[in-house]
Structure 1
Amino acid sequence: METKSIQSVTKDITRACLIEKVLPAIRAKWPAFDSNNPIFLQQDNSRPHIGNNDLEFIEATQQDGFDIRLCFQPSNSPDINVLDLVFFRAIQSLQYQKGPKNVDELVEAVERSFDEMKAKQLNHLFLTLQSCMIEVMKDSGGNNYKVPHLNKNGLEREENLPLQHHCDIDIVNKDLALLQQ
């Protein structure tokens, strides 16, 4: 097998990846009892992403009784995608330590870094995501906030690291009222 880098990602490449890789993975892992409920795949607004009315993709999604739909992240929306916000950065920092010299070594380093990611690190990532979600809610859905520094390692040493953050009910009610306007 030969690894080749893609010089430019196009709509055709994106469509093929979704149809040949993402949809089969969803079908294989999604609980059968829940397959009749809509499953939304959210994309950002990058040019190579396909539209939510792409006929080839729609045809591929309607197999096996699944209801899989594409949607787009609102423009200029806060970055609360756990992959972009923290997960890729964490894997990238592990991968940089390995110093790959070609594409094959890079792929190997990323896969190894993914495998080395510990449950403790994942908990830290999701706590960061939750704290950012709360900050977005405090900003009434805006993205004018700084990622909070939580001193997770210190809290963990003191055995006070939470599994999840709690959001003040007043913040939730304020944002629910905004959504209903």
Structure 2
Amino acid sequence: MIQQDNAKPHALPHDADIVAAGMEGLFNAIQSIQNRVPIHGIDNLITAVQAAYKDMSADTLDNIFLILQDCMRCVLRQKGENQYALPHIGKAKLRRKGILPRVLSCDQQLYDSAKVVLAESDRGNLAFFEPAE
């Protein structure tokens, strides 16, 4: 079962995608890999993080960043909340077919509504989301 910050799990423990991701090592964050060796000093920490990153397979890293992008879209749809079902896009199947996307798009309407929510709150700065002049 996957649980963070005492939140109720968003997926059943026997969910095929969750089990496959766990078997692949998706939930072994770079930090947990890097923490296997005692680190002393910032230079050693940087070296350990870089080594942990290099040790992860390209497929695992692709999966992590695709899940992150999909979760970010869910958070935007939920107006900043985290009450959503974990998205499933069938990464393994798409990868086998050679059509796994590298980037997930966000439609303009969702982007615009997220900017409105952000502008109405005191939780962020819209300057990050405006094109440079």
Which TM-score applies when normalising by structure 2? 0.52
Could you tell me which residue of structure 2 aligns to residue 129 of structure 1? 68
- Tell me the matched-pair count: 86
Are positions 1:177 and 2:116 aligned together? yes
User: Larger Cα Rg: Structure 1 or Structure 2?
Assistant: 1
Letter in 1 for 2:68: L
Are positions 1:145 and 2:75 aligned together? no
Could you tell me which residue of structure 2 aligns to residue 157 of structure 1? 96
Kindly, what percent of the aligned residue pairs are identical? Answer: 29
SS in 2 for 1:141: coil
Q: Which runs of 5+ in 2 are unaligned?
A: 1-6, 8-21, 39-47, 121-133
The correspondence of residues 29-44 of structure 1 with structure 2, limited to 5 A, is: none
Larger fraction in strand: 1
The correspondence of residues 2-151 of structure 1 with structure 2, limited to 5 A, is: 89-91=27-29, 106-107=36-37, 115-151=54-90
Give the deviation of 1:115 after TM superposition: 4.4
Over residues 24-79 of structure 1, what are the superposed CA-to-partner deviations in whole Å (9 max), with x where a residue is unaligned? xxxxxxxxxxxxxxxxxxxxxxxxxxxxxxxxxxxxxxxxxxxxxxxxxxxx9xxx
Give the deviation of 1:176 after TM superposition: 0.9
Give the deviation of 1:120 after TM superposition: 2.0
Give the deviation of 1:114 after TM superposition: 5.3
Distance 2:29 2:119 in 1: 39
Distance 1:91 1:143 in 2: 20
Give the deviation of 1:124 after TM superposition: 1.0
Contact 2:67 2:87 (C-alpha < 8 Å) held by counterparts: yes
Contact 2:71 2:87 (C-alpha < 8 Å) held by counterparts: yes
SS in 2 for 1:107: coil
Root mean square deviation, CA, Å: 3.5
Give the deviation of 1:91 after TM superposition: 4.8
Runs (4+) of structure 1 exceeding 6 A deviation are 110-113
Letter in 2 for 1:144: Q
Give the deviation of 1:180 after TM superposition: 2.0
Contact 1:131 1:165 (C-alpha < 8 Å) held by counterparts: yes
Distance 1:115 1:163 in 2: 19
Distance 1:176 1:137 in 2: 9
